[in-house]
Amino acid sequence: MSQTAITLAFEQHLADLQMGAQPVIPDEFVLAHVPGLDLTAPINRAAGLPPPAQIVHRQPVDQRGKVNANGVAYSIIMDTRIGDFTFNAMYLVHKASGLVAMVVHKAAEDKLKNQGNSQPGNSLVKSMLMEYLAPPMPPTPRWMPAPGNSTFPPVCSGWMKTFANRPTITTGPPPFWLMALPCVPARA
């Protein structure tokens, strides 16, 4: 069993950067071995990185890419030159700010380095998918007609609902709304 969570600090950081039209790019994986990690307990979204003694590997993101309309995957490749360590937690970090964007708690896994003929190493590819969802539709205010209702003067030709050009993290704060009601006079 594993669990994944986007941190509260990154949600706030994302909103702050987007308000300033700045890009947000998590760019580092941090792997850790957290003793006694309970995989059934919810991830503390307010926590940051574990103590330095528990961090076993840091590596820049090797690849990132859009996997669908709402998701971006971040990946690293650890070849047989990297190791030896065991990890049970992965952190996706925005290195410049030091903010943890995403956390994965997982079963312990060994990463082994090639040691000549005595120990063959293993290669691992690890990815984290950060998914964004479109914001839910807001309720119609009482002073506006419900969609399709033409009894409200002036008669409205249609609705235009436009959302700000910003993704909203599924567990984040309320989305930004921009609603416009284009109306034209009724024709007889």
pLDDT at site 172: 39
pLDDT at 174 over 70: no
pLDDT at site 133: 64
- 182/185 Cα distance (integer angstroms): 10
Backbone phi, psi, residue 18, to 5°: -65, -35
Split at pLDDT 50, 70, 90, the class of 54 is: very high
Tell me the pLDDT of the chain averaged across its residues: 76
DSSP 3-state assignment of 109?
strand
- 33/56 Cα distance (integer angstroms): 7
Q: Which residue has the tokens 């609705």?
A: 159
pLDDT in tens, 147-160: 555 444 433 333 33
Query: Between the CA of residue 136 and those of 52, 108, 146, what are the distances in Å?
Result: 40, 37, 16
Sequential DSSP letters for 51-81: PGGGEEEEEE--EEEEEETTEEEEEEEE-TT
Q: Is 83 exposed, middle or buried (0-12, 13-18, 19+ CB in 10 A)?
A: buried
Cα angle 12-17-22, degrees, rounded to a multiple of 5: 160
Between 68 and 53, whose confidence is greater? 53
pLDDT at 161 over 60: no
Between 44 and 149, whose confidence is greater? 44
- 106/67 Cα distance (integer angstroms): 22
Split at pLDDT 50, 70, 90, the class of 134 is: low
Between 123 and 144, whose confidence is greater? 123
pLDDT in tens, 91-106: 999 898 888 999 999 9
pTM of the entire predicted model: 0.67
Lookup: tokens for 164: 């700000």
